[in-house]
Structure formats: structure tokens, C-alpha cells
Amino acid sequence: MAKKAFLIGANTFGLSFANNDVMLLNEALQKHDYEIIIPSLSKSDILTKFDSFVDDCKKNDTIIFYFSGHGFTPKGSLQLVIGEELTKNKDQISIDYITGLIEECKAENKLIILDCCQANAITNNWNPSQSERYRILTASEKLEKGKEIDAFKASFLTFYIHKALYNSETIFNHKETISINDIYIWLSEQTEIFNSQNNSIKVPFPNLLGNQKINFPLALNKYTIINNSQSDSNSQPLTQIKTMRYIRERCRIYIKGSDKFNEVMESLISNKYTKKELDNYKREIISFTTKYESHMALAAYHEKKGKIEMMLDILNVNLRGQEESSRLLYRALVLEKLDRIPEAINDLYSILLNEHNIELVKAAQFNLNVCYEKKNDYAKVDFTKFFIYKDMFFAGNERLSDKAITMHLIVCHKTNQEFLYDLELMDVFQFQAKNNPIGYTKTLLIYFLLQRKKISRDEIYNIYKLTDNMSINNKVAVLSKLLPQFDKETDVDVIMKIIHDLKDEYEVSKSYTLSKFIDETLLNLKQ
């Protein structure tokens, strides 16, 4: 299962960075264990080495052919330019030759990357079968112009492919494997961001050809997984990462309006609705008469329906004063979720520049910290300054201070700092256990997943006592994570006491969930 890449960069006709492009891609692919072949820029050397490259492929191999340079299409057929005498054949290579050989080779996964102009003209003679694991990533649509950018010292497409692969642990931190579709989606997002921030230089959107359902992996996020497993053999990296994402995504917006509006928004944002209720909200949203309320509620409704692009369109409305700040705050939250961090930061700074309402300002500052945390720019992150805001709430029953403490816990974990706020954390547990059982459960989960130190038997029991006022479902969710923290050998008496309490509760509630949990716990103890 070898991974191999054939890289060509030709600085012809004034291009300056095609060689840099090859070096960048070489660096990124070597990090992911690719064998690299870089031929000299003579047609004979390229073709000889390419023939061997293709001939040596074996079943299960993943191969990449990459070209950076000028592309041109005399009579519609794409030619890769390797020299400057284009009236002669020696200075150009027909892409049809490349695609033909790759189609015939034995490798399982095949990818061509063309960082040149008119790259989509490749489709004129390229028709692989739908089942073939053969994709082509191009810098542009047909007849559009790929670009190299002085500020990057590289071509746009290659610069971002390098970034995606070289920093895959941070960019795709929730994924074990990085597929061609993942990279393409991320590249498209980066293009959109770049074009929105640059008036003078616009770059074309990349294009990914071939059967969209054929989504093979290009790289593994092995370093993230190894680090986690080395530091804590019992840790569950994926669960942990999902938990972190869940925290980020909840309740960091400040949206207020009429009572009815507040009621609808709180239900939507806190996920307190059934499917039927969600449909009913549409009717209520139509009844909102102000521009602010109707747009915000409709955006929240579409978010819950998973129509994020539509939601962003709806949020593209000009409002005034605090309403405008609320709109920007909400949009920043969505952009951050979509990993469009620079745009989110832009919106948040707009709020900080124009807004005076202390709650909105604090919400923007807090979200700014979350954005920088997500970028791993920890020098700009300080959640401890939000610990004092115990009376400030966002949507639902989430206290700003609680969220800040939990986020600080995550930052300490990621930066290997010692977490010094155990007392504050216990306060979070106590408050959430009474007022926000769902938040309590989440905080607890994060605490166990991220804190490496051994939790004492008394601490576990104290946390258990905090579940007294929780609903049965929440209690079971918490206990299912809590009980494994006990030592089965030495703490069996405490576990049995808890089981005894639960049995008493079952006698009253006759809850099936509870009885099932008790049975499973007892079975686990016997084993």
C-alpha cells in the first residue's frame, strides 16, 4: 500500500514560484509518507520517469501526478508547458498522455492535481468509468486563470494544499483520515475567504472532477492520534474531540427581542424542541413583523434544519445598533462553526468597535477567544478573565463564567498547563446540577476526559450527590461516565451504595432506563 507522487514545476514565461510549489508539496506529502519523484524539466526525462512511475504501481497504491506552471489549449487540447518554445513539441506535454497512462495503471487511488490555467480542459478527452477511483483537482474551471501570488511565494492552489496536508492535525482535528473531498471543501472555503479579503487579486475556485462518491483518503492524522495515545492510554481522542466541539457550538449568542421572539429563539438555540415543534416554529416566525426578529428567527430555524448556507444568506441583512451587533454575533458563531475563522473574527471586531452594550461586548470578546483557541493561537486566549461573570447568561441557562471555566480546562489540556481552578470548577458543577443539568453533564464529561489526574473516591461520590435533582435520563447519562471512575476492587462498597439508591428510585419511578442501567452496572461488576 505505497503512496507515491510525481511532481513537476515549470517556471516558464515569467512565472516565479512553480519550483517553490513543488518544494511545498514535496514537504507536505513526505510528512504523510509519500515517495516523491521530481524529474528534471526535459521532456525525455519527464516521460521516461513517468513511464516507470506508472509501471511500478501496484494494486492498493495511491498515486498523485502534480503539475504547476502554464497550461494552454491550442485547438482545445490541454498542454502542460515545460519550456518557452511552444511552436515545438519538446516544450509541451499533452495531458492526454498523462491521463491515458494513469487510467491504465494498477494503482487503486489516482489523483491528478493541475495548478495551471485552463486546467479543466482536461475533461475534453477524459472519461473514466464511474467506479474508477480516479479524481482530478484543478486550480480553476475551464478557461479560467490559475494564479501565483507574490505574498505566498507560491501558487494559490498549491499553497493551500500544502497548508491542508502539512497542518492536517489542526485543520482537520476531528478526522482520522483526510480525504480528497475534505481537502477540496476546505480549499473552496479558503478561496472564498481570500476573495472576500482581497480587492485587487481574485483567484478562481478549485474544481474536483470525477465521481464525487469516490472519496479516497490522501493522508492520515497519525500524529494527533499517536500523541493522544501516548499521553493517556485510556483516553478516547475522537470522543474527546467531539466533546470539545460540542462545547464550542453551544450557546454563545446574545439575541433579545419581544417575549415571544425570546421564547422561540431560546427553544431553537437550546435544542429544546421536538421535530413537530420545529415545524410549528416556522408559523410563529412568519408572524414576527420586525426585520430583526424575522431574519434572526428564520436564520435560527434554517440552522436547525441544517441549511447553513441559506442561514448565512438570511443573516446578510443590514440592521442598526444593538440589533446589528446581535446579527454579527450570530453570524460569527456560524462562521466559526464552519471553520471560517478569519471572517468570524472580522465580524467580532466590528462589534467590539461599535457596540457599547456590556453583554454584547463580553459575548463578542468571549467568542473571539474561542476563535483564537480554535486557531491554536493560544497567546491571544485568556478565558480566566470571564470567570467573574456569574450573573451573565447567554441562551438557555448557560452562565458565561461556567463556559469560560470549561474552555480554560480545554486550553490547559491542550497547552499542557496545570489547571488551577478546581474550586471554581466545583462551583460550576453545583450551579449546573441545579439549573442546567445538560450543561452539568457536558462539563463533567469534559472534566473526566481532559483531566489526567486520578479523581479520588470522595470526589466522585460528591459529584454523584450533585445528581440528586437531575432527571433520570440525565442522571443515567452522568453516572454511566462517573461509575467507571471508581476502582472496581476497592470501591465496590460505594458503587453498591449508589446502586441501592438507584433501586429505591426505581421503585418510585419504574423507569426502564434506570432499571436497564442498574442491570448493566451489576453485570459489569460481576465481570
Residues that bind other proteins (CB under 8 A): 13-16, 69-76, 81, 84, 86-87, 115-118, 121, 139, 142-151, 155, 200-201, 203
CB of 87 to other proteins, least distance (A): 7
CB of 117 to other proteins, least distance (A): 4
382, 375 in Cβ contact below 8 A?
no
Q: Which of 406, 358, 104, 376 is nearest to 251 (CA)?
A: 406
CB of 69 to other proteins, least distance (A): 7
Q: Evaluate the CA torsion angle 509, 515, 521, 526 in order and state its sign.
A: positive
CB of 189 to other proteins, least distance (A): 20
The span from the CA of 515 to the CA of 509, in Å, is 10
Residue 13 vs 378, nearer CB to other proteins: 13
The span from the CA of 277 to the CA of 389, in Å, is 33
CB of 103 to other proteins, least distance (A): 23
Amino acid at 381: V
Helical (H) or strand (E) element with 46: helix 43-55
Residue 87 vs 490, nearer CB to other proteins: 87
CB of 86 to other proteins, least distance (A): 4
Q: How far is CA 414 from the centre of its chain?
A: 17
**Residue 119: CB partners within 8 Å, gap ≥ 6?**
71, 78, 138, 139, 140, 142, 146, 207
In angstroms, the first-to-last Cα distance of the chain is 40
Beta bridge partners of 9: 68
Q: What is the DSSP string of 174-243?
A: T-SEEEHHHHHHHHHHHHHHHHHH-SS---PPPEEES-TT---EEEE-HHHHHHHHHH-TT--HHHHHHH
Burial letters 210-239, b for 16+ CB under 10 A, else e:
beeebbbbbbebeebeeebeeeeeeeebee
Residue 142 vs 256, nearer CB to other proteins: 142
The span from the CA of 264 to the CA of 259, in Å, is 9
Radius of gyration of the chain (CA): 28
CB of 5 to other proteins, least distance (A): 20
CB of 243 to other proteins, least distance (A): 42
The span from the CA of 488 to the CA of 525, in Å, is 7
CB of 15 to other proteins, least distance (A): 6
